[in-house]
A and B are shown apart, each in its own frame.
Chain A
Amino acid sequence: MTENGTKSRLKAKLRRLEFKNPILVASGTFGYAKEMSAFVDFNKLGGIIPKTITPLPRTGNDPPRTIETSSGLLNSIGLDNDGIDEFLKKHIEYLLSLGTSIIVNIAGKNIDEYCSLAEKLNQVEGIAGLELNVSCPNVSGGVDFGTNPESTAKVVSKVVNSCDLPIITKLTPNVTSVIPQAQAAADAGTDAVSLVNTFQGIVIDWKKRKPVLGGKFGGLSGPAIKPLALRIVTQVSKAVDVPIIGVGGISTIDDVMEYLVAGASAVQIGTANFYNPGVASNLVDQLEQILDEENCSHYSELVGTLQL
């Protein structure tokens, strides 16, 4: 296989989005990439999604902000970030120099905030797309747009119309069914949906009669949630015609393959970046090997091949 051939068989296309391969890293688990520079070969990654950006700086929640659970991590960071202006000043130039697609993850308290963030980022040359965080469980005061199809549709269509950038909508699993929100996002013109954000949970110190996390409730991630997230990817993939980016508990190449087979056209590596910081770029190499073993000319031949 020539180098070009190798590259083309990993190339991912999700409507207007194009990645050199389907292995991305999830927002909130990769800092602003600089933190990972000692461990990861950025150039190998399909894409990087830095930590969520809001219009204004946010202090974030009081510590403790994370607590480990059985094979999982419960977090209530609370979108600690310096706001869009500092992001453009401190991080965007570095991010865009890394030789991979940069998807900027944004969150607002209302539709206007999402749109003004999108308009600002639309002015920056080189950004590959936006991921709309309509599903962070840790932000009080804001509307959780991702919990019903009407508000999901509204925010997605407004953002799609306010910029030229491809749009990914990251949906919450904390609903009866994710299918209506995924359908609404698809109808509103999203290029892909990220499935899923964290599952809301709580860890309790019963002797103190108190939650352990400063933010009280948190979002659960890590290997513990993989079957739950995979179930949602499987169901949405069967029901809705929209490219899916699978995320939730991926740390090995087998995990990646399970998501692809379930119907994800790309994946995001999240919590695994914390406990195995070099994992994401290693998975890209391993995906190549699997394609050899499976005799695939393009990884998409495996996408959605699950027999239910």
Chain B
Amino acid sequence: MINPSQCNHDDSMPGANPFAMQEEGTVVEISTMAENTYRLRVKAPGIAGKITPGQFFMIRPSEGYDPLLGRPLALFDVYEEDGRKVGFDFGIVVVGKLTSLMANWAAGTKVELWGPLGNGFPLPECKHLMMIAGGIGQTPFLAVSREALGLCSYGNGERNLKTKPEKMTLCYGARNKKYLAGLDLFKMDGLDVEVATDDGSEGHHGFVTGLLEKSIIKGNKPDVVYCCGPEPMMKAVAKICLDENIPCLLSLETTMACGFGACFSCVTKVKEDDGGWDYRRTCVEGPVFEAEKLIL
């Protein structure tokens, strides 16, 4: 007989979410950020006290089966009451059944939440951090910026940035200016915000990648790029960064059913040491990945 405790046990496979919890939250308020884009605030002290920038949580209505699954959403910001983190904000774009419902949630609505989930963005130990966002992908960068500038701390207080980046830039692209969401919130000392729109209605006329290219040409090459947005945009950013030898972290948005590693839905191709690739779960191994490790 094989005694399992004497097996050559290997715990290298990720999966446990040691800080995650399931919690019933309450919708506190909802506000319009841009066309079809809303900011929601929920009270959920358990998750609020643990979640860090770039991590996500799952949310669904407390009642009913349609919609059925939770939706993964990124942390926008945490809010406090009496000096204690009690809830958090997130942004949504109305695209489907659940987001349509969410846009109409009244204050007091009960919601089921589980999180915090996934690996967020690391603290930026670099001179020039550039955050590149498209669509609703700017949301994680509010908390990233506040934390890096020392304006706010997230999680259990164990994250301490040794040196603040000397320069931080947010490059934010949208279809047109109607879709630029929460720009005023990013107005903080120490953060340069540059905008690109596909139709030129605001900022650079063209894709957000143009802002990165311009910056490189001008000699303002960032040391590190964090990126979140639609896949074609992230692919383009990753390519520029790889060509320019800039470390680049991408936060992937893949379809998830559970958010915590049980369903094996949200897989993405990750390079293996042997030159091949394997499907890995975005929820537990990401959603933030080093661009060079992905096959996009």
Contacts from A to B (Cβ < 8 Å): 28-32, 34-39, 51, 59-60, 63-68, 70-73, 75, 77, 80, 82, 88-94, 96, 123-126, 222-224, 251, 271, 273-278
A228 to B82, CA, bound (A): 52
A259 to B112, CA, bound (A): 26
Name the residue in B10, B69, B255, B258 with the highest tally of chain A Cβ atoms < 10 Å from its Cβ: B258
Q: Is the beta-carbon distance between A35 and B66 smaller than 8 angstroms?
A: no
Q: Contacts A51-B264, A277-B258; is A124 near B2 (CB within 8 Å)?
A: yes
A59-B262 contact in complex given A80-B267, A93-B4, C-beta closer than 8 Å: no
In the bound complex, what is the Cα–Cα distance between A242 and B247 (angstroms)? 60
26 contacts between A and B (CB under 8 A): A29-B262, A29-B263, A35-B262, A36-B260, A38-B16, A38-B21, A59-B278, A63-B254, A63-B265, A63-B268, A64-B255, A64-B265, A66-B255, A71-B65, A71-B66, A72-B68, A89-B9, A93-B7, A125-B2, A125-B3, A273-B258, A274-B69, A274-B257, A274-B263, A275-B70, A277-B258
Given A89-B9, A275-B68, verify A37-B262 contact (CB < 8 Å): no
Does B20 touch A at the CB level, under 8 Å? yes
Residues of chain B at interface, number, CB under 8 A = 45
If A31-B15, A71-B66, A73-B257 touch, does A65 touch B264 (CB 8 Å cutoff)?
yes
Q: Report the minimum CB–CB distance from B138 to chain A (whole Å).
A: 25
Q: Is the pair A35, B112 in contact by a Cβ cutoff of 8 Å?
A: no
SS class, residues of chain A in contact with chain B: loop
Please determine whether A75 and B4 come into contact, CB atoms closer than 8 angstroms. no
- A97–B66 alpha-carbon span in the complex (Å): 36
Other A-B pairs, 11, CB within 8 Å; known A73-B257, A123-B1 = A28-B263, A34-B13, A64-B255, A64-B265, A73-B69, A90-B12, A93-B9, A125-B1, A274-B70, A277-B260, A278-B22
Contact of B69 among A39, A63, A68, A80 (CB under 8 A): A68
Minimum CB–CB distance from B12 to chain A (whole Å) comes to: 7
A222 to B3 alpha-carbon distance, docked (Å) = 37
- Expressed in whole angstroms, the Cα–Cα distance for A269 and B85 within the complex equals 34
Choose among B1, B8, B68, B268 the residue that contacts A222 (Cβ–Cβ < 8 A): B68
B→A interface (CB under 8 Å): 1-5, 7-13, 15-22, 60, 65-70, 112, 114, 254-255, 257-258, 260-268, 278-279, 284
Once the chains bind, are B19 and A38 in contact (CB under 8 Å)? yes
From B10, B258, B279, A60 is in contact (CB under 8 Å) with B279
Would A70 and B5 count as touching, CB distance under 8 A? no
Which chain B residue lies CB-closest to A29? Answer: B262
* Selected contact of A39 from candidates B2, B20, B254, B255, CB within 8 Å: B20
Query: Which 4 interchain pairs have the tightest Cβ spacing?
Result: A35-B261, A31-B262, A38-B20, A274-B258
Taking the closest CB of chain A, its distance from the CB of B278, in whole angstroms, is 7
Tell me the complex Cα distance, A65–B256, Å: 9
